[in-house]
Structure 1
Amino acid sequence: MSNAEITEVRDAVADLLAARVTPEVLEAAERDGWAAGVWEPLHAGGFTTVGVPEAAGGAGGSVAEACAVLEAAGAAAAPVPLAETGLLAGRLLASAGLDLPDGPLSTAAGTVALRRGTLSGRLERVAWASAATRLVVLADDPTDGAAVALVDPAACTITLGHNLAGEPRETVVLDGIVPEAMAPAPPGAQDDLARRGALARAAQIAGAARRVLEVTVTYTGERVQFGRPVSRFPAVADHLVRIAEQAETAAMAARSAAVGAGADGEPAELDVAAAAAVASQAAGLVAAAAHQATGAMGVTREFALGVLTRRLWSWRDEWGGERAWSTRLGHTLAAVGPEELWPTLSRGVR
């Protein structure tokens, strides 16, 4: 798929969300844990399962297209489990040869125990677990190995919780649960899921960071002090430059990793590690600079900035975070040896 076609996907999702993700919708979603008016049009348009093969019940498309959807959703602060349903849970089901059920899905980085056909264990900070139609979990059997299991969340014990942005992040306890469907997990399923999770958050951070830039530039251009816009003061201009630099860096890293996966492939370890580390670092720098530039206005509820920066602060630590992925990046580069270091950096690892 060409860059122009990926841009079309991103723009289509942005247009769809523009009139639907309002301050009132975001406030209700934080209170109720769900935004049906946002989810339903995305689902009807096929955007919730982009990146999942059509043969498994998804919308088809590449990892790059799926990340384009997530970038647009991140810019809009869309309070729905787009990443969890498609790129994460949906693709995990498809990798095991299982069909997607209808509705929102969720999954988590951890594994649960599988004994005699039943699942037991505890999963922390599961996104939108109580709102999901089904949960997709990785299970480990000491005899038969890893499996992908489809679970009804109503059969689990779920403790409600939220991240800093008010998005549901819940504890799920499985106690002798019989899965609705199950199949052997492909080799490396847990690592593949972790990479997709980190890449998904990098794409969302990239989208939110670009939107932070737009909001901050607009505000500082309209806010006048001492007879001129505050954006013309050197200190504020420095903050705007920093936001622009970091937003562009995050977008380049996330898009490069997504495109590198190819039409049917998985994103490479080196690419995801770089994208996750860069985006996580950028999230903190962008949020700090934006709040410095906007002053007290930036923390008020009526201004859009806080909605975005709370997501940046939350997403940067999910599915790894800067330190974890920087460490993995270092290990990946060290493993290739000194002779291959420059060739690896200059052309990537596939």
Structure 2
Amino acid sequence: MDFSLTEEQALLQKTACDFLAKSLSREVLKRMEESEAGHDLDLWQKMASLGWLGLPFPEEYGGSGGSFADLTVLLEEMGYRTCPGPYFSTVVLGGLPVLAFGTEEQKRQCLPAIAAGERVMTFALTEKDGGRDGGGIRVRAVPFGEAWRINGAKRFVTDARLADFFLCAVRTGKETKEADGITVYLIDGRTRGLRTRDMKAATGDRQYEVKFYQVPVRSEQVVGGLNKGAVVIEDTLRKAAVAKCAEMIGGARAVLDMTLAYAKERVQFGRPIGSFQAVQHHFADMWTDIHGSRYLYRKAALEIDSGAPAVQAVAMAKARTGEAYRRVTMLGHQIFGAIGFTMEHEMHRYHRRALGGDVMFGNGAFHRDKVAAAMGL
């Protein structure tokens, strides 16, 4: 399997690198992070004009017709610059499930608007008692005449306050801990009965609790079939895990680059600190973590594009990459010393994202269990 970038992917990588370096100065990042929504409409529209918002969607829906592997190339560069905003939630958590499981009407309702930068989307899955898969879902939709009504609360819903559309996974079948009897609905963000509350996440992204008060849904809003939402959830989480790996590797690369530059300039005992063997070994570990994890996530992305289940490849990539990003940032902190722990320095931004990325869509222990299960254990 060839993990090298295609000519088109290399061009996308360079374009993204140049654009984000120019657009996301330290001042711009600080302003976006301190804003209530963490979103810049001008930047969003520029991303739309570059074709990024519709990158993995077919041309018939206003997209660029790119592959999932193409998307991970872009996400890696976004991770390098810690790009804020609702790109991940809109394209990965919202658009891809609609593309894979939505009806033709749902696709035409959502995908062209996302590609044009006119709509933001997210997926409401996690609840108080869990939600890395369908087994933790307790929020129910109950019949109400010819429709259904949703009551309950979802937690850690990324960019919910910005969302024009929600995908929401609820229980419509019998009460059980298993991931059956689940239905995913497409809900307009303006629907009466939706309330959001900021959860004040320390990880650098915007996480909200979303409460549903008698929110009405109808059969035409079902995505993937009534009581068949477990398949939608599984596919979404699998792709989201690999997409998050790409984003994390971009961040880890940035930490390596800035730390390496510092180690060449910082002089102690009359020598650059990068000349000391102990520091050199730290860099060797960082390099190995980054490149080993990158090969794993690219393998998983290519398997997904081939139509393979990719369960084991995804689990290996996420288990390795989340922990690798954390190790890289911790080693970066050790090399930078005290300055790396200040808010004036950029390291805090990467460290917080490493902590969040590691646990999103399943941490290392969760995915190691999946690897073991795939081995028949």
- TM-score band, normalised by shorter chain: 0.7 to 0.9
Map of 1:197 onto structure 2:
240
The equivalent position to 2:44 in structure 1, one of 34, 39, 42, is 39
The one-character-per-residue Cα deviations of 1:200-226 (angstroms, maximum 9, x if unpaired) are: 211111111111111110111111122
Matching residue of 2:153: 122
| Whole-angstrom distance in 1 between the partners of 2:217 and 2:309 | 29
Using a 3 Å threshold, how does the CA distance of structure 1 residues 300 and 184 change in structure 2: closer, same or farther? closer
**Out of 332, 339, 350, which is 2:374 matched to?**
332
CA RMSD of aligned residues (A): 2.3
Cα-to-partner distance string for 1:141-195 (whole Å, 9 max, x where unaligned): 2298623313316741111023323311111111111349613415511111111
Amino acid at match of 1:280: G
Contact preservation (8 Å) 1:105, 1:135:
yes
- Aligned amino acid, residue 96 of structure 1: G
- Which residue is equivalent to 2:28? 25
Report what 1:71 is aligned to. 76
The answer to whether the 8 Å contact 2:32/2:84 transfers is yes
Matched-pair contact (CA < 8 Å) for 1:273–1:329: yes
Q: In structure 2, what is the equivalent of residue 135 of structure 1? A: 166
Deviating more after overlay: 310-319 vs 103-112: 103-112
Aligned counterparts of 1:172 and 1:313: Cα–Cα separation in 2: 23
Evaluate the alpha carbon distance shift between residue 218 and residue 153 of structure 1 in structure 2; reply closer, same or farther with a 3 A threshold.
farther
Greater CA drift, 326-335 or 103-112: 103-112
Gaps of 5+ in 1: 336-350
1:56, distance to aligned residue in structure 2 (A):
4.3
Match of 2:201 among 163, 179, 185: 163
Deviations 1:256-297 (A, max 9, x none): 11112126x366111110110010110221111111111112
CA distance in 2, matches of 1:204, 1:118: 36
Partner of 1:152: 189
Unpaired segments ≥5 residues, structure 2: 127-136, 175-180
Secondary structure of the residue aligned to 2:183 is strand
Q: Out of 86, 91, 102, which is 1:96 matched to?
A: 102
1:261 aligned counterpart, secondary structure: helix
Q: C-alpha separation between the residues in 2 aligned to 1:306 and 1:109?
A: 28
> What SS class does the counterpart of residue 177 from structure 1 fall into?
strand
Cα 1:2–1:24 change in 2 (3 A) is closer
Deviation at 1:57, TM superposition (A): 4.5
Partner of 1:313: 355
Bigger Cα displacement from structure 2, 177-186 vs 41-50: 177-186
TM-score (norm 2): 0.82
Alignment of 1:145-294 (within 5 A): 146-152=183-189, 155=192, 156-179=194-217, 182-185=221-224, 188-262=231-305, 265=307, 268-294=310-336
Corresponding residue number in structure 2 for 1:344: none
Cα distance, 1:243 vs. partner?
1.0
Separation in 1 of the partners of 2:309 and 2:69? 10
Superimposed CA distance per residue, residues 294-333 of structure 1 (whole angstroms, 9 cap, x where no aligned partner) = 1112112332222112111111111111111111111111
What amino acid maps onto 1:150 in structure 2? I
* Number of corresponding residues: 334
Change (3 A) 1:145 1:128: closer
The one-letter amino acid of 1:89's match is G
